[in-house]
Chain A
Amino acid sequence: MTKEDLIEAIKAADIGPFREVRLITLVHHQGVTPTVVKQIVAELKEVNAHEAHELVELRKTLKAVEPDIAALKEMKTVISKVKKAAASV
């Protein structure tokens, strides 16, 4: 793996600007060594674990509000009917 490949991989991982700059700087300074790759993988895993947890929580929330959303959509339809009726009186 070349230095450029590794830098592209860091950029593609979308890990946030500060971490991205820090890891790219690390690659520029130390090159593609096993230690550097190991550190990058560890950080990507850390970010991914965090976001995977966020995703799980978000999906739980979405599941929990499903009935609310159905009710809100129904309410929206009714409000629309009320407004039409009010305009036509």
Chain B
Amino acid sequence: MGRETFGTVPENAFRVPIIREESANSSRGNTEQMRGPDLYRGLTELGQSIHSAGAPVVERVLQILGRERQREIVGVGETDPGKLDMTAIEHLESGVNQALEGHEAMRVDEAALDGRVTGRDAIIAELENAAND
């Protein structure tokens, strides 16, 4: 059922090297792209966002990105954003999208269930009336 859809977020969605081994000055991979004040601000904001999302997201929805991992991301995002890997951020985005899609599926399930229960109630009432006539 839809309410279990969150469980379909792949277990490895966040099991990626969020934090690169290299420093911000490394030329390897996409770290060169990670510089600049806008990006720094963005990553800081991401760190704060993850931090403010806090335990409920981790425990009830994502359940995959552990607290330690959160702390690492927040710490690195705030102090040395160059160490964050864009691939990891894309994985994070993918996980967030899947969780939101799961939530949307729950909403669809809710509407479908509501419709069936209401419709069935009406049918039951009609049958009971007919039986009493």
Contact = CB atoms under 8 A, between A and B. Distances in A.
Verify that A and B bind, or say they do not: yes
Interface of A: 1, 6, 9, 12-15, 34, 37-38, 40-41, 44-45, 47-48, 51-52, 54-55, 57-59, 61-62, 64-65, 67-69, 71-76, 78-89
B131 A74 contact: no
Contact of B124 (A1, A44, A58, A75): A44
Q: How large is the interface on B (under 10, 10 to 19, 20 to 34, 35 or more residues)?
A: 35 or more
The secondary-structure label for the interface of chain A is helix
The secondary-structure label for the interface of chain B is helix
Interface string B77-99: 00000000010011011001101
Interface of B: 1-3, 6, 30, 33-36, 38-39, 41-43, 45-46, 49-50, 52-54, 56-57, 60-61, 86, 89-90, 92-93, 96-97, 99-100, 103, 106-107, 109-110, 113-114, 116-117, 119-121, 123-124, 126-128, 130-131
